Chain A
Amino acid sequence: MEALDFALGLFDILLVFLVLSLAWLVMSSEDLFRAIVLFVAFGLLMALVWVRLEAPDIALAEAAIGAGLTGALMMAALDRLSSVKPIQKVAASAQRKQLSLSSKVLPLIALVLIVLGLGYALLSLPEIADGLTPNVKENMAQSGVKNPVTAVLLNFRGYDTLLEMVVLLLALLSVWSLGGERKLSPRSTNPILGSLCRVLVPVLILVSCYLLWVGADAPGGAFQAGSVLGAAGVLLLLSGWHVEQKYLLWPLRFILILGSGVFIIMAAVLLLIQGGLLTYPVAQAGWMILLLESAATLSIGATLAALFLGGVPKSRVDQ
């Protein structure tokens, strides 16, 4: 047993060392592409850290969003940055010349103060604290699901998830208001990409449904399922998936607001009937949460794919 603990200890130390050095390299990298690759690697290792901290739910979310989609999203952003790159380089070199002593010392003092404050806060925490775990355990029977994380996210603190859905929608709206119109890319003639899509997209959709369903009693749920669905969308966009203009107008907008919409309607109805925001009747809680999560999954998937496109989608064929 002792040897096992030793091996796990070594694993943790190496992991912490790698995560910290990657974080430093991401921040200090001047080459933006290198920074993206390092950030993806950082996301992978963060997922391993969450696994070691026995938080598989967060590990799953980190794997889906941090290590998976963020890389593709950042790559798309870098693509569009290439037109403004020269300005950025000039600004960076000008900044370096102007760095005086006080502009180096002041951040250092601020950093030391933050570290001291955080350290104090951390050390003043009680050593053993149950937090809200007993509360959650007591009320699990009324939540309608078996996974405590899903119970907290969709039932006990459902309004958190409601607001998160609105945040995603706002992010997309700001991208659309800045990005202008984006034509879908032409159909790829690459046979490898075509066959990869044919194999991978159905699997991604299947895994997304699985994650949504399993969220009721194991790690999983709408955000993880939605980002896997979003990845399927990104793959289709990359391979030049043809969508007719008529589907890009109202059907797309309907799917984008479906998650927030169903959430708000459900909250309003429950407020009238039950007298509380998102307080489900115990017998119906299970399917209500499943309905909310399914709508949220579709919206998250569509939003992430639309974010990857980076503008109001427009069909290639002008009509």
Chain B
Amino acid sequence: MQMLYISLALFLLANLAVGMWRVLRGPGVADRMLAAQLFGTTAVAILLLLAEAAKSNALRDVALVFALLAAVTAVAFVKRAWSMPEARDID
């Protein structure tokens, strides 16, 4: 079972590496931000898998904090991008 968790975590990390392409290429700011949000979600999944593999409750807390704070970053971004006309033009 542990092997399955670790392989899945590895697969998700590889996904994250592919997602970096979108952050680098953009083209719009929203594309970059959404890619970063995808990173956050993937990291939560990786942490939960590692927590299950290592039987560690502390890692679930880390995942919880990640999930909560990703939403705050997203709101900060949306408030910024949608109040600035130039950001809207790029999208």
Contact = CB atoms under 8 A, between A and B. Distances in A.
A123 B69 CA distance: 38
Nearest to B16: A18
Contact of B76 (A7, A10, A44, A72): A72
A4 B36 contact: no
B39 A44 contact: yes
Nearest to A11: B10
A278 interface: no
A15 B9 CA distance: 11
A39 to B, nearest CB: 10
Interface string A52-71: 00001101100110011101
B73 A72 contact: yes
Given A37-B33, A193-B75, A51 B50 contact: yes
Q: Which among A10, A59, A193 has the highest number of chain B CB atoms within 10 Å?
A: A59
Contacts of A8: 6
Q: Which among A48, A63, A72, A234 has the highest number of chain B CB atoms within 10 Å?
A: A63
Contacts of B59: 51, 56, 59
A211 B16 CA distance: 28
B3 A7 contact: yes
A238 B69 contact: no
Nearest to A193: B75
B59 to A, nearest CB: 6
Contacts of B72: 68-69, 72, 200, 231, 234-235
A219 B58 contact: yes
The range of chain B's interface size is 35 or more
Contacts of A21: 20
A140 interface: no
The range of chain A's interface size is 35 or more
B66 to A, nearest CB: 5
A4 B2 contact: yes
Interface in B54-80: 56-59, 61-62, 64-66, 68-73, 75-77, 79-80
B73 A71 contact: yes
Contacts of A200: 68, 71-72
B23 A34 contact: yes
Interface stretch (A74-82, A92-100, A281-289, A311-319): A74-82
29 contacts: A7-B10, A11-B13, A14-B13, A14-B14, A14-B17, A41-B20, A44-B43, A45-B43, A48-B47, A51-B47, A51-B59, A56-B56, A59-B62, A64-B69, A67-B43, A67-B69, A67-B70, A68-B65, A69-B72, A71-B73, A75-B80, A193-B75, A200-B68, A200-B72, A207-B64, A211-B61, A220-B61, A234-B76, A238-B79
Interface of A: 3-4, 7-8, 10-11, 14-15, 17-18, 21-22, 25, 33-34, 37-38, 40-41, 44-45, 47-48, 51, 56-57, 59-60, 63-64, 67-69, 71-72, 75-76, 78-79, 82, 193, 196, 200, 203-204, 207, 211, 214, 218-220, 224, 228, 231, 234-235, 238-239
